[in-house]
Every structure is written in C-alpha cells, then in structure tokens.
Structure 1
Amino acid sequence: MSDTYNELLQQFRLQILTAGEAGSSLRIQGGASKSWYGNPEAGDILDTHPYRGVISYEPTELYITARAGTPLCEIEDLLAQHGQMLAFEPPHFGANATIGGMVAAGLSGPRRATHGALRDFVLGVSMMNGKGEFLRFGGQVMKNVAGYDVSRLMAGSLGSLGLLLDITLKVMPRPACETSLTFAMSEQDALHVLNLWAGQALPISASSYHAGRLLVRLSGSESALRLAKQKLGGLELPQMELFWQSLREHQHHFFIPEDGLALLRVSLPSTAPALKIKAKSLIEWGGAQRWLWTHEPIPTLREQVQAMGGHLTQFRYADPTQAIFTPLSAPLLNIHQQLKKSFDPASVFNRGQLFS
C-alpha cells in the first residue's frame, strides 16, 4: 500500500479515536448519494472519498477488490470492458455513488429476485472498528468467533458497525441478449403469473407491475429468449434498457414525490396477495418488493404487512413522527446491540442512523 493510503488510514484512525475520547459521533460519507436514507445523521463527516481505486481485478476468477471511496460508475465501466457486471444491479441515486456507500446501504436493483442480493456477492471486507483497529474478514466465508459472516453483516448496516476500507465482490458475465415483454392484467393476476413463472425454467431477470401493465425482462442466450417469448406471449419491447435503469434509479414517473407522503417500501413473500388499501403502487421482484404512496396510517400498514410475513420501511420523504425501519423484536434487538457494542463500543459511527 502506498504512503498516501497509509496516511489516509492513519487520519481515519486518529479521527475515530478522537471522536471516541470526546464522546462524539462521526458520519461516514463517500459520495453522499444516499445520505437521505435512514434516520437523520449527526456528527462530523469522516470523508472516505479520497480512499479510492481498484486494488485487484481478475476477470477469469470473477472477483474485484476496490477501496471504499471508489466511484461505483468506475467499477461498472471496468467490468463492462470485460463483459461482466455486478449482478445485483445496485442503484446509484447519484453520480457520486461509491462502492463503500453501495455496500453500507445494502440496496439491490431489478435483478435481485433472480440473481441474489448485494450481500450474496460480498466475498470479503477490511474495516476499521470504533477502537481504530484494522480488521479483515472474508474470502472463503471467514467468520468471527460469534459465528457471524462479518463481511456480509456490513451490507445494509449503514456504517453503524465500522468504517469500510476495502471490499471484494463476486462479479458475473453480462447476458448475451436481453429483451422485455409487456402484458395488460390486474394486480392479482400479475402476482399469480409471476409466482407461476418463478417455478419454471424461464430466463426472467426482472419484473415490474404498475397501473395495469406487467413488464418482464428476459436475459440469456438468443435461443433461450426465443423459446421464452413463444411460451409467455405478450408484446415484445426490445429497447428497454432506459426503462429498467429508470426503475433502478427511481427516475420512473411513479417515484415523483407525492405532497405530504412518504415513499414506502414493503417487503413481502412473493406469494402474498395484493394489499387491500387505497394506494398508488409499483411491484418488483416477482411480488416481493412493493412501493407505495398512500394516506393510510403507517402503524396500521405495518401491522398488516407484519401479519403477512413482511416489513415496511419509510424509504424516502419520511414522516418524522414514525419509525423509518420496522422496530426489531427483543431477540433481534439484543443481537444488534451486542454487535454494535463489539464493533463500536463508544457509538462513534453513524449514531442513530439505523436504530436509536
């Protein structure tokens, strides 16, 4: 590692130790493209943006290692040059998105239902804990003494456990061909056919249902797509890359803010029926992810969703009187608190952003 990066690590360590001694908190920030996500942030900024660059990339071995401040667009451009991709299709939500922020937010895009979530592709991480100690986890699912796969625990932790430094991700080949099919049907019928198709050998890589129209994306070989089109029917829409990108980045017209409303993300079993509420909705991931704009009270909705085996998050434009994330059960809260105490005993990192 060069002297410049060693100096940066020492600066990070000093900033962490100083905050711990003072009882203050730090906001870990790379590109700030997702700083709105979660509870309001407090504390001084710990800027990871200078700590950037690809450390190693082995296209034949299907992995890449990069520093946390590396722009996500640079990673994707490099992979594209070798016909590869991040299969979980992460949203950027801004031109300055970094790979560290991507992992910390833990968000996945349209391919998630068929290819897996971001955490499934995290092979290893190095990090700095709240004591300023340098830790490395991963490679071959290396676990700590408590039995947790720490590298994957960092996915979606919103920086609450430590400062991500280096990240190793599994990458995948890009599909040879892609096309999209559209169908006119009701929400209940869309949920039914999506679950029916999920049990069949079909090259579906994304789905979206909104305002009476179901869209599915097919990815694979030319012959696989031809057979799938014959089986599924529908109207073919071959040039839909911008649509799926708009869905991933929340640039689709559905995501235009509604005055006085929070954008709600509901995670449910894909087999769950249509929600019996008055709402504007968009459904992804074969029925497992549902976006809502509604005037229904959030506590009432949370109860309904939990009764169906799911959970609800105020994703954007949150109502400050309601919890952003679904409150944890007592056993899960105890695990969360023990993890926080182990990695960040002085509560230096992103205090309160995930849970109070």
Structure 2
Amino acid sequence: MQAIVEQFRHTIMAASAAGTLLRLRGGGSKDWYGQQLAGEVLDTRAYTGIIDYEPTELVITARCGTPLADIEAALAARNQMLAFEPPHFGPGATVGGTLACALSGPRRASAGAVRDFVLGAVLMDGRGERLAFGGQVMKNVAGYDVSRLLAGSMGTLGLVLDVSLKVLPLPLREATLRFDCAEIAALRMLNEWAGKPLPISASCWHDGVLMLRLSGAEAAVCAAQATLGGSVVAPEDASAYWISLREQTHGFFDGAGSLWRLSLPPHASAVILKGRQLIEWGGAQRWLKLDGDADAAGAQRIRQTVAAAGGHATLFRGGDKAVGVFHPLAPAVALIHQRLARSFDPAGIFNPQRMY
C-alpha cells in the first residue's frame, strides 16, 4: 500500500507544479452531487482495506478506497453499525467518499451526523505532505478538529488517505409505527415527542402518513409503543422502507425534475412551496420535489422562503446547477472557506469549484 501512497504523492506534486486540476474520486456513486465535475480523475479505489478494527473500543480505521459495504459487513458481524446510516447511492460507495460528502441517513437526527463520528484522519495535502489529525479515541479530540472539518469538504482540502470512525452497537430491538395524519399534525407530534424520553431513531412524513422508528432496549421500545399507539409495521416491510429512504429509492424520489434538500429547525412550521414534500429527522430535513427545474428566480424564492424560516436549501439532485447547488455563504464564512482551501491546497488543484 505504501507504493500506492507514493503514487498519489507523485501525481499530486506533479499536478501542483503544472497547475493540473485533479478530481478525487472513489466509486463515483455520488458524482452527481455538488457543482460540475472538473479535472483529471485520481482514483482512490486501489488504496483499500480495513487497517484496524477493535469492537471493544467501538472504533474502526480504514483506507479511503475501502468499499462502504465491506465496512458495514465487518461491523454487522460483531453486531455493530455506522450509526449515521450513510447512503450508498450505488455499489461503488467508499468510506472516503462517505466522509467527503458527509451524507447521513434516517438515524442522523437521533445518533448524529458523519462529522460526529470522525475520530481521526490522515490527509495528503496539495504539497504532497501526509498530515495526521485526531486519533482513535474520543479523548484525543481537542482544539480545532481538522479531521471533522474534512466531513463534507467534497475533496476540496486534500486526499483523505485513512479515516477512523466511532461505531455503535446495533439496537437490541426496533419497531416501526404508522400514523395517518396531515403535515401540520405530524410536525406538532414530532416536536412534542422530541421533548420526551422516547427511543425514536427515525421519522418520515409523506402524503398523509407518518412513519416512526423506535430503537433501543426491549423494555424501552415496548413502553414507547404503548405510549404512542399507531399501527405496527411488519419488520421486513419496515426495514425495506427505511432503506428506501436512505438510498432514495422510495417512490417520492422517482421521476424527472429537481430535488431540493431543505434544512430547517425542527420546530419550523410547514413551508409552503410549489412541489411535493417529504419530511425527515423530526422536521429538520425536508425534501422538495419539483416537476421541472427552478430558474434563478425560482431558486432564489426557495432559498428566501427557507431562510426566513431559519434554514437553508441545497439543490441536491437534478436541476440547473447554474443557480448554485449549495446555499450561498455569508461573506465572512466564505472567506474562511477560501483561506482553508489555500492553506491545504495552495495551487487550487483539488476538486475545483465542486462546492462553490
């Protein structure tokens, strides 16, 4: 594997010297995410394998090109999981791409986001230098945590070589409940339940139906079922349902048009916008499906409406990327982004303009 790292270094140093743009890429399962792709592909899949896995310490360390499916299989064999439920969006998903995109699944609202589980990372910067951040235990994390900063950086800061992730045990019991209710009623119930000691691990409202997943100890899940009511969904149907949300194979996501991801405070009321909506994470994540593409004025209206409710909007999939995929940054935050990028990638070769 050291020979592969040296090849990475040679490619990066040559690109920096020549001003050649590089597109850092694993399995390519999320090539559609972000702004337009640019640069010569630097394929990470040869740098693969689990470096260390200690179930008793709840931590796994793997190389960037390791398939996400291999990580999950190793964890499942020891009754453990990546609690943020990362979506694959294809068989080629890698752990490096998971960190770079920082996308989380249905359990994110209760367990945390990708960045919350990053313990450490090894990065190769634009100078070809190997930089190590963080560690393999939570107590090593102190000060300005660059390893977590890499989560969601879309490969713009450098090539992530290795990553250490905290893992959690699989829940002893899970149950999914179904409630028939309107959007306003669903949001009200979700906010009420959020203030109570209930083992809610996922939620979704769509088309008059609210689905709720409970996870935890047998007694806690049974007690919550008795308190909440609703109708119990068969385990195999419930599993397929939550996977369909994670991988966006649910019928809501079908068809042409553009898909917007709206991030809002959970207590925000219904957001009135043209298009169909699906609500996750207790109201904090709302998907907006448009039949067509929003032009610049339409995108501005969406973002202004969401911003007025205290959130931001991302053009997640499809649509005209000329309107900007990610919500515009405040000038001060944009300056921080630019300075960080220059610090790690002075020649500006890594995934240029993939974010902004």
User: Which residue is equivalent to 2:255?
Assistant: 257
Give the % identical residues.
53
Aligned to 1:121: 117
Matches of residues 2-13 of structure 1 in structure 2 within 5 Å?
5-13=1-9
Equivalent residue pairs, number:
346
Given candidates 103, 106, 120, the residue that maps to 1:107 is 103
The 3-state SS of whatever aligns with 1:207 is: strand
Alignment of 1:164-175 (within 5 A): 164-175=160-171
CA distance in 2, matches of 1:248, 1:344: 33
Deviates more, 1:219-228 or 1:48-57: 219-228
User: Does 2:60 align with 1:59?
Assistant: no
Instruction: Quote the residue 2:314 is aligned against.
Output: 313
Deviation per CA, 1:2-30: give whole Å up to 9, x if none. xxx11111110111111111112100111
1:244 to 2:242 alignment: yes
SS in 1 for 2:205: strand
Partner of 2:72: 76
Counterpart contact for 1:19–1:26, Cα < 8 Å:
yes
Q: Which residue of 1 aligns with 2:179?
A: 183
Letter of the aligned partner of 1:321 in structure 2?
A
The aligned residue for residue 325 of structure 2 is: 324
- 1:343 counterpart = 2:344: yes
Matches within 5 A, 1:196-345: 196-239=192-235, 240-258=238-256, 261-294=257-290, 297-345=298-346
Task: For 1:262, give the aligned amino acid.
Answer: S
CA distance in 1, matches of 2:285, 2:140: 28
Q: Any idea what SS the aligned residue of 1:102 has? A: helix
1:131 and 1:48 map into 2 onto residues whose CA distance is 18
Q: 1:219-275 CA distances to partner (integer Å, 9 max, x unpaired)?
A: 1122111111110000011321011001000000101133xx210000000000101
Answer whether contact 2:28 2:93 (CA < 8 A) is retained.
yes
CA distance in 2, matches of 1:211, 1:151: 39
Counterpart selection for 2:133 from 129, 133, 137: 137
Q: CA deviation digits over 1:259-315, x for unaligned, max 9?
A: xx2100000000001012232010000000000013661111101111111100000
1:142 Cα offset (Å): 4.4
Distance 1:309 1:113 in 2: 17
Q: Do the aligned residues in 2 keep the contact of 1:262 with 1:317 (CA within 8 Å)?
A: yes
> For the residues of structure 1 that align with 2:274 and 2:158, how far apart are their CA atoms?
41
- TM-score, with structure 1 as normaliser: 0.95
Separation in structure 2 between the aligned mates of residue 141 and residue 160 of structure 1, nearest angstrom:
25
Moved over 2 A (4+): 140-143
| 2:91 paired with 1:95 | yes
Q: Is the 8 A contact 1:55 1:67 kept in 2?
A: yes
- Contact conserved, 1:141 with 1:149, CA < 8 A, in 2? no
Assess if the C-alpha contact under 8 Å between 2:36 and 2:321 holds in 1. no
Per-residue deviation, 1:141: 4.9
| Contact 1:182–1:234, Cα closer than 8 Å, also in 2 | yes
Report the Cα offset of residue 318 of structure 1: 2.5
Q: What is the deviation of 1:132?
A: 0.4
2:315/2:321 contact within 8 Å kept:
no
Unaligned 5+ segments in structure 2 are: none
> 8 Å contact 1:178–1:238 — kept in the other structure?
no
The yes-or-no answer on 1:157 pairing with 2:158 is no
After the TM superposition, which of the residue ranges 277-286 and 120-129 deviates more from structure 2?
277-286
Per-residue CA deviations over 1:145-170 (Å, capped at 9, x if unaligned) read xx531000000000000100010000
Question: 1:206, 1:285 within 8 Å by CA — same for their partners in 2?
Answer: yes
Partner secondary structure for residue 38 of structure 2? coil
Please state whether the residue corresponding to 1:321 is helix, strand or coil: helix
Q: Which amino acid aligns with 1:303?
A: Q
Matches of 2:110 and 2:173, distance apart in 1: 16
Q: CA deviation at 1:212?
A: 0.2
Q: Which residue of structure 2 lines up, in the alignment, with residue 22 of structure 1? A: 18
TM-score normalised over the length of structure 2 = 0.95
Q: 1:257 to 1:148 in 2, by over 3 A?
A: farther
Q: Residue 201 of structure 1 aligns to which amino acid in structure 2?
A: P
Q: Could you tell me which amino acid in structure 2 is paired with residue 204 of structure 1?
A: I
Query: In the alignment, is residue 40 of structure 1 matched against residue 36 of structure 2?
Result: yes
Counterpart Cα distance in 2 of 1:25 and 1:131: 14
Judge conservation of contact 2:276–2:288 (CA < 8 Å) in 1: yes
Where do 5+ consecutive residues of structure 1 fail to align? none
Contact kept, 8 Å, 1:318 with 1:324, in 2: the verdict is no
**Structure 1 counterpart SS, 2:28:** coil
- Alpha-carbon separation, structure 2, partners of 1:320 and 1:339: 24
